[in-house]
Amino acid sequence: MGILGLAFSSEPQKPAHFDIERVIRPNILSLHPYRCARDDYQEGILLDANENALGHSISLQGKSEELLLPLNADLHRYPDPSHDHIKSRIAELCSLPDAKHVFLGVGSDEVIDLLMRVCVAPGREKILITPPTYGMYAVCAQVNDIGIVRCNLNLSGDHGEGGEDGRFSLLVDNIKAAVSADPTIKLIFLCSPGNPSGTLISLRSLQSLLDYEAFKGIIIVDEAYIDFAGQDASAVSLIKQYGNLCVMQTLSKSFGLAGIRLGVALAQPPLIQILTNTKAPYNISTPTAQLALAALEQPSLEGMRKKIITLRESRKTLSQSLAGLSHLGLGTIIGASDANFVMVPVLNKETGVPDNVRSQRVYKALAEENGVVVRYRGGEAGCAGCLRITIGSTEENEILLLRLRDVLEDL
């Protein structure tokens, strides 16, 4: 079979009786790992990873040297295993009763993996996902040797029974039918706003699933981009009512702190305690904790909210400008654009239909010849020909538009 990513070697293995491929589990040998945005390109105007292009919002006014120079911290000591001060602050901001409703992970990815490990039996049980969606759900499922049931979002935009109006909305009846037919489904992963769809899931649809008696498992709502979606969009408001709900958030996007790797799970105390019992003893480092606490202080929050307003205004402006390239074979933005990115199809200039080949050529030409990196998403369900473009700074957006125009004209 070979090991994916490792070149074949004709050199004999030592010792001769050892074969690593007989040691590694088959589901891991066949695993195609999650492809990060930086796997292809690391330089240029990076509009590919949905980072906050305006940077972090930590207010440095009055900050001690210990924050600015983490080497002055007690790095010879293990970090606080609980970080209750951070959890209490997050609980306060989310209007939750106390720190017992909050779990901290090494990015949301640790939370995803832990939820699967504590809830889903390997080789026997499953999760349900709603493509197009975040790729790590499927990768973690394969790592943990658990099955995947796929119920696509509304890919056409038509109003169907049990669904909502609009492309990439939930088809609630389809999900209910799937969990009724397969009692081994333990977790449902919903991304809201979706990645790569950018579309918010309605709380009405979510409640319909939470109330569905045939499903005995937990619904996880991944809200990595929720701060870009406006007021009253978060499912956190439902946590007090539903013990079968877990909401994930992160400091990577709106807070501009992707580099510190801090994810958050919000749920009722029983699930939070199970996650706490299962995690590694010191999963959140001292520098990460220091920076997170500083980011959650009021002056930093005010700066973060101002940047969200700026990025939402830029999202509107960029969307209007992209529409002006329709004569060059750029389609209409798809999805609701509730996040800090937009997704737009590249069309075949003769037929006017989304074209994966032309889209990939545009993607490569932008990155390799023009120094602008976006993300090709044409292989995702309902996303034929699509490029996902992170909202950049005003200058970055202007450069993107100029170079995208040039590439579309050339192709």
Percent of the chain at pLDDT > 70 equals: 93
Residues 341, 195 share a domain: no
**pLDDT tens digits, one per residue of 331-374:** 999 998 899 999 999 999 999 999 999 999 999 999 999 999 99
**Domain tally for the chain?**
2
Asked if the model's pLDDT at residue 5 lies above 80, the reply is no
Verify that 243 and 117 share a domain, yes or no: yes
User: Quick check: is 18 in a domain?
Assistant: no
Residues 252, 126 within the same domain: yes
Segments forming the whole domain that contains residue 311: 45-55+301-410
Same domain? 114 vs 97: yes
Confidence (pLDDT) at 203: 96
Contact at 8 Å (CB) between 53 and 396?
yes
106 and 158 co-located in one domain = yes
Do 286 and 167 lie in one domain? The reply is yes
* 363: in domain: yes
CATH number of the domain within which 210 lies? 3.40.640.10
Within-domain flag for 330: yes
- Among 259, 279, 299, residue at a domain's last position: 299
User: 226, 239, 234: which is closest to 272 by C-alpha?
Assistant: 239
Instruction: Write down the pLDDT at residue 344.
Output: 97
Put simply, whether the predicted model's pTM sits higher than 0.85 gets the answer yes
Tell me which of 299, 325, 357 is where a domain ends: 299
DSSP, collapsed to helix, strand or coil, labels residue 161 as: coil
pLDDT at 38: 63
Residue 99 lies in a domain: yes
290 and 356 assigned to the same domain: no
Tell me the C-alpha distance between 408 and 400, whole Å. 12
pLDDT at 295 over 90: yes
Strand, helix or coil at 332?
Answer: coil
Cite the beta strand spans of 106-244 per DSSP E.
126-129, 147-150, 185-191, 218-222
**What CATH number has the domain bearing residue 395?**
3.90.1150.10
- Beta 102-105 vs 263-266: how paired, if at all? antiparallel
Token pair 């074949």 is found at 8
Query: Where does residue 319 rank: exposed (0-12), middle (13-18), buried (19+ CB within 10 A)?
Result: middle
**C-alpha–C-alpha distance, residues 292 and 44, integer Å:** 28
Assigned domain for 328 exists: yes
- For residue 308, is it within any domain? yes
- Residues 354, 347: contact at Cβ < 8 Å? yes
> Of 299, 315, 346, which residue sits at a domain end?
299
pLDDT digits (tens, 9 = 90+) for 183-230: 999 999 999 999 999 999 999 999 999 999 999 999 999 999 999 998
Residues 294 and 340 both lie in one domain: no
Q: 107: closest CA among 292, 296, 376, 341?
A: 292
Domain assignment of residue 16, yes or no? no
H or E stretch covering 60? none
